[in-house]
Structure 1
């Protein structure tokens, strides 16, 4: 039957595109779901996210039992987890968009507005940009250097530099990916990043952290 990958539907993700990209990358069964029981039984979990940190957090916590199911499956069951864009930002302790909103606190840090250090720098950070590996490579080869598609106005600032898997540059360094144990998050959109993005998703489907 192959592995079941749970793509969490909490009203805040680009689900159709992400599901299609996962299938193109080799996923045998993608379960688009808002059911905590499906998440609890999944082999791998993907949390997408489009919109503000606050609205995404409200959507995720608004599904009774979902955060508990995710936490149990990932931190107790050891299922590989991928957060995309705001789904990556939700791994943080808190987000500062539209006030302070708590995150999952799976990777300590906070999500802050990108500072405009140069008038030529546009916010949101939108379009193709380089992805350079972090110093410590906590994702064990999952994230590779290349070029990916970004769209965000806020960025993840982790407390521990050892959790930074990749960086990009937009008027200064911004975290492009974070990782800790069996959890990885990418700020860019793999589903919009063509060959680079599909390659990353394919590696995630084989990832055994």
Structure 2
């Protein structure tokens, strides 16, 4: 590949300073019980949170990632912890671990071909690919250097493999997209504008359905 061709496929260089995470020291999280911490201390090397008594964490010092991308990843994790359920946020942590184990771990910014190669090394795992695309879009929308719309469109078109002809049926029954989950949580937490028992009853059933519904592995 010639130099000009390589430049065409890679993210455009930027003269902007490297991104630094300057988020809140404590990120408030959604908890299901009142006997567990309701925040994550982002000043620590290990971020720990709980879901129904189960501890989850991400050890930043243990990840083999470029220093610039670590700062970006911290901002994304803080966003996930604040906006989504603890278990959904943990999907992002698992994805970052997978990135740390891949060939792109210390490379940044990435070319589209490098990201797609990483996807293939993950055996096209749907969960990791979807969360990585969510991260890429989230960062790109905030104008952080090293991400481009052209690369996003290429990785958006990447098709994940399904394990059997019936996988689509099972997947459609087992989970929500990230934007769907936050809309549902907002609906559950919304205060009723009336004293209608039917409205209260519906909200109870909706809440129970969300808490007891099956989650993807």
Larger Rg computed on CA atoms: 2
TM-score (norm 2): 0.28
Determine which structure has the larger helix proportion and give its number: 2
